[in-house]
Structure 1
């Protein structure tokens, strides 16, 4: 349960620059003051200078030491327009279109990351996941050998014996509605790496289904079986197993009955959901019924860290995701 404390410490030890394109939004401003105060990151707010300063004054916030960049007046805008045009000209982009698009704060912030003027970006307090993914995929694109961008939640469940002392990683709960077997395998591998590199735990990855080790036959079950096979072939060094029902994945007593020969069953700390519906419902059930802290959604698979927020997020949530993004950036040197 000390995960976020460790992440804060790591963020402070190698301070990164994180751009927040929703710079005029109240929770973002409140979070920015706290991030600066705690020394978690160098924050860059994107938006109108006067609007941001006036809003901060109304809220009684101190933004001293926080950079504010307005796409309409920035000296970097012309450079970003040209760079974006070069990236997209084969898709029909024109300089005129690029000049308009790059002035959008989300695109401007993404270009900052692409051009190494920021180490990562966090958005989503007032934008949808699709709004964030579009410029991310167009500009930053996926990391080498990664076929799909996905998301994960770190679930911290109080007084819980399952997972890693109550910590479990859920994926994918925010991005891919109906992943193929190949995409599901990629998501499982990426999330295992996240568990190892960000959460500092040895991943035991359960590929979830409504069947355990052949107890049912259905095309949906077959997709999970195939995804498990692909993931094992690609990364035989990782503990990945399936298909497993949720109880077989995390409860040792049930695992002994349903999957007695599995190294993962009963011990899983990474749960891979078969589709977005089950993942989104699953994390929200645990969050509400178990009073769990749900950190995320955090994206994985981009060449540089770009992360999403829930539109219902608090300022505290933004602080947490910025810290996570900063630590992700440290591993992407």
Structure 2
């Protein structure tokens, strides 16, 4: 069974409620039709029911809950809650009212905060900043987490490396030039995410252009420090570094370059030194190896909110909803 089909099977059993605030986007409506037909999750769509019905001709959204902000019975309660959450930051009651009655992303996140929905997926028609801003302001980071980051699950066909071709690449979507401390936190979150989504043991490689001191440079020092800190954060997780990519995933190369490395060239979680490397890396594998790339998936928020690429397809939204449903299992 493929990675995505495995995720879908688990999502079907969970029957979590995911809010999709971008009902004005046709891809969202097409994805909602598929999600409901396959029984992957319960859905809340935010928008005008008449407009949604007109746009969704030929689609079956009868099982979705459609909430019109203009006629939402709990709006006053939500406004007061948002005001109380943000008044110390200078938010007024009038501003809270405007945000929730005119900004569907804020309303969607508040639905997650208030427990009406278990998670939110958006970004087909909004920037990452606009999607994540309300999530960070309202939901904040998860307990024990210091940084929000993003990863891709990359599935390489006919691949003997990683976890039968399955890898987690992080951070490929948010943090431009993380410090050693931040990289350690990203490694911790990424190991947890890999375990959650694959049910397999994470094996984490902290990547560099150097392997175990083969080069000397502040860039190498950062990854060495990050490795040490990550091991302290996750004493029960297999983490090694700094490692070149080939030493991280090819056992024969690892035995030559780093014979004492406990990973033994079997990494399935790859932590990149910065966003340039991570983004370029996943796109290279996606295009040249014809790999499937699922993400960016956000980790570290108190409840799951995932940001789509604005170039996403309806199928991408379906997959992200299934992944988001799985992430809800581990909300503390």
TM-score bin (small chain) = over 0.9
Is 1:118 the counterpart of 2:117? The answer is yes
Give the match for residue 78 of structure 1.
Answer: 76
- Measured against aligned partners, the alpha-carbon deviations of 1:118-173 in whole angstroms (never above 9, x if no partner) come to 00000111112111111110001111110001111111111111101111110110
Aligned 8 A contact 2:151 2:295 in 1: yes
Give the match for residue 180 of structure 2.
Answer: 181
Aligned 8 A contact 1:129 1:174 in 2: no
- Measured against aligned partners, the alpha-carbon deviations of 1:186-235 in whole angstroms (never above 9, x if no partner) come to 11011111111221111110001111110111111111111111111121
Is 1:91 the counterpart of 2:89? The answer is yes
Aligned 8 A contact 1:206 1:265 in 2: no
Unaligned runs of 5+ in 1: none
Root mean square deviation, CA, Å: 1.1
Give the match for residue 140 of structure 1.
Answer: 139
| Inter-partner Cα distance in structure 2 for 1:20 and 1:51 | 15
| Inter-partner Cα distance in structure 1 for 2:24 and 2:74 | 20
Please show how residues 97-112 of structure 1 align to structure 2 within 5 Å. Answer: 97-103=95-101, 104-112=103-111
Aligned 8 A contact 2:42 2:64 in 1: yes
TM-score, normalised with respect to structure 2? 0.97
Aligned 8 A contact 1:24 1:48 in 2: no
Unaligned runs of 5+ in 2: none
| Inter-partner Cα distance in structure 1 for 2:157 and 2:208 | 25
| Inter-partner Cα distance in structure 1 for 2:150 and 2:99 | 26
Give the match for residue 289 of structure 2.
Answer: 290
| Inter-partner Cα distance in structure 1 for 2:313 and 2:254 | 38
Give the match for residue 269 of structure 1.
Answer: 268
Say how many residue pairs are matched.
Answer: 331
Is 1:38 the counterpart of 2:38? The answer is yes
**Deviation, structure 1 residue 258:** 1.2
Runs of 4+ displaced beyond 4 Å? none
| Inter-partner Cα distance in structure 2 for 1:219 and 1:71 | 52
Please show how residues 298-317 of structure 1 align to structure 2 within 5 Å. Answer: 298-317=297-316
Give the match for residue 153 of structure 1.
Answer: 152
Give the match for residue 26 of structure 1.
Answer: 26
- Measured against aligned partners, the alpha-carbon deviations of 1:249-273 in whole angstroms (never above 9, x if no partner) come to 1111211121111111411000001
TM-score, normalised with respect to structure 1? 0.97
Aligned 8 A contact 1:22 1:28 in 2: yes
Give the match for residue 9 of structure 1.
Answer: 9
Aligned 8 A contact 2:196 2:326 in 1: no
Give the match for residue 228 of structure 1.
Answer: 227
**Deviation, structure 1 residue 2:** 2.2
- The 1:310/1:262 distance shift into structure 2, 3 A limit, reads same
